[in-house]
Amino acid sequence: MASENVIVVSAENFESEVLQSDVPVFVDFWAPWCGPCKMLGPVIDQLADEYAGKAKVAKIDIETDDATKQLAVTHGVNGIPALMMFKGGEKVGELIGGQPKPALAGMIDEALA
């Protein structure tokens, strides 16, 4: 079951939800056809619950529309899942591909430090 703490982000609300956020934001760029993205889904949900109130966890389906595809290009997404950490409107971390939960939590922890 998907976590209610995961924010679904689009091109329309990326700036307000991610770039203008008062707390660090972990962003998962993904697509429904991506096997590793689907495998990572439960981990993303767990992180959203564990970091609720300290950091945001957001998912962006890069296949939603042309604006969302362009958003992925703008942020240098060359492969998915692309996992990025934003703090103060800047990208401060990035991992590509399926990753173990400790690597993702470490990226969030580093942004919170």
Q: Give the residue numbers annotated as catalytic, written as ranges.
A: 34, 37
Q: What whole-number distance in Å separates Cα of residue 63 and Cα of residue 42?
A: 20
The pair phi, psi for residue 11, each rounded to 5°, is -60, -30
